[in-house]
Amino acid sequence: MLDEGAGWSLTVSNPGGDAPIGGREPAVLDAVHTTLDLPTQTAAQQAVDARSEPAVIVAMSPSTGGVLAVAQNEAARTQGPIALTGLFPPGSTFKTVTTSAALQAGVADPDTMLPCPARTTVDGRAIPNDEDFDLGEVPLHTAFAQSCNTTQAIMSSQLQPSAMQDVAASLGFGVDFTTPALTTVTGKVPATEAGPERVEAAIGQGTVTASPFGMTEMVASLANDGRMVLPMLVEGRPAKADQQPPPLQPGTVDAVRSMMREAVTSGTASSLSGMADLGGKTGTAEVADGPAHGWFAGIRGDVAFTAFIEGADSSGPAVQMAGEFLRGMQQ
């Protein structure tokens, strides 16, 4: 953008003196304004700096797509811009996509009674719940709020190969964006045939990967009535997307938003139950060579955000960090 207004001059130097040939005076350029919000960025930075593990927070306005904050602590910065381009298994935050796909396909509605056993085997893949909790048969909205792996695995067997991929794209997850002054990668959600790979994908493991930015894009699009948000860092210059997916059905959006609220009021993020209007989804993502990653992706008002802590071993620390971030914004 600065190059567009650059001036130039061409001068020939010889023993008799310099002879100007031509040139152009620099143009007066309009000021460049970013969408970053100083109180939001400050609160996010303070929250991540309090952690010793690599930690990041990304926040975005669902109504405008404006990026409000991108914060990484020193442990994260040594790995590069992982908030925007780092790819990790999203764990149970991806159940937002799986549940949306099940609702869209008519596999279940929020009140459908579904099994949530401690363990189950679906299409050859054994899936346990965290610490083998067993809820018996419960409504889908309860299974979501309590993050039942086994319920999600059971539902996934009834989905079409591209169902989760299509829903993710509607929420901007798996979409490539070209955004002025911002380089991002949202993640990867492959189509999966029936079998172990689909079961793993349903709970955000296996071949599914996401960046913290991608998870923020996902929840921002949910908050935008299920329509993909075009991210923006320079005001007035939104991203261009490599695809134009259709929005989610309104009933799906309303149901998932309600389940995310329940996850906060009485589910896996209940430590933040005192925060009005907050909805979200926790995630604990297993990795082969170390402790699990912790996630919390949420929506509060016109702020969609993701808190991610690498190697946190559970979602609890990410939920705590998100709370610190949200309280910091109010100060």
- Over residues 36-82, the pLDDT tens digits come to 999 999 999 999 999 999 999 999 999 999 999 999 999 999 999 99
Is the pLDDT score of 135 beyond 60? yes
Torsion of CA 315, 317, 323, 324, to 10 degrees: -160
Is the pLDDT score of 27 beyond 80? no
Instruction: Give the model's pLDDT for residue 303.
Output: 98
Instruction: Give the model's pLDDT for residue 20.
Output: 79
Domains of the chain by start residue, with CATH:
38-330 (3.40.710.10)
Task: Taking residues 305-320, report their average pLDDT.
Answer: 98
Instruction: Give the model's pLDDT for residue 15.
Output: 79
Instruction: Give the model's pLDDT for residue 70.
Output: 98
Residue type, 183: T
- C-alpha 24, offset from chain centre: 46
Task: Taking residues 20-48, report their average pLDDT.
Answer: 88
The whole-angstrom separation of Cα 89 and Cα 139 is: 27
Strand partners, 44: none
Instruction: Give the model's pLDDT for residue 289.
Output: 86
Is the pLDDT score of 151 beyond 60? yes
**Half-sphere exposure of residue 292: CA atoms within 13 angstroms, side-chain side:** 19
Task: Taking residues 90-98, report their average pLDDT.
Answer: 98
Q: Give how far Cα 172 sits from Cα of 10, 26, 150, Å.
A: 48, 39, 26
What stretch of H or E contains 220? helix 212-223
Of 172, 178, 247, 176, give the one whose Cα is nearest residue 215.
172
DSSP letters spanning 272-304: GTTSTTEEEEEEEEEETTEEEEEEEEEEETTEE
3-state SS, residue 163: helix
**Count of helices and strands (H, E) across the chain:** 11, 15
The whole-angstrom separation of Cα 35 and Cα 60 is: 9
Instruction: Give the model's pLDDT for residue 40.
Output: 98
Task: Taking residues 183-189, report their average pLDDT.
Answer: 98
Task: Taking residues 79-97, report their average pLDDT.
Answer: 98
| Model confidence pTM above 0.95 | no
The whole-angstrom separation of Cα 297 and Cα 254 is: 17
Please report the sign of the dihedral spanned by the C-alpha atoms of residue 134, residue 135, residue 136, residue 140.
negative
Task: Taking residues 87-93, report their average pLDDT.
Answer: 98
pLDDT tens digits along 213-229: 999 999 999 999 999 99
Instruction: Give the model's pLDDT for residue 19.
Output: 77
pLDDT tens digits along 153-162: 999 999 999 9
Q: Which of 171-175, 227-231, 289-293, 321-325 has the lowest mean pLDDT?
A: 289-293
Instruction: Give the model's pLDDT for residue 107.
Output: 97
Helix, strand, coil percentages (3-state) for the chain, rounded to 5, are 35, 25, 40
Residue type, 150: T
| Band of pLDDT at residue 29, cut at 50, 70 and 90 | low
| Band of pLDDT at residue 13, cut at 50, 70 and 90 | confident
Of 152, 98, 156, give the one whose Cα is nearest residue 129.
152
Instruction: Give the model's pLDDT for residue 2.
Output: 55
Is the pLDDT score of 331 beyond 80? no
Of 271, 253, 277, give the one whose Cα is nearest residue 315.
271
The residue written with tokens 């919000």 in the block is 37
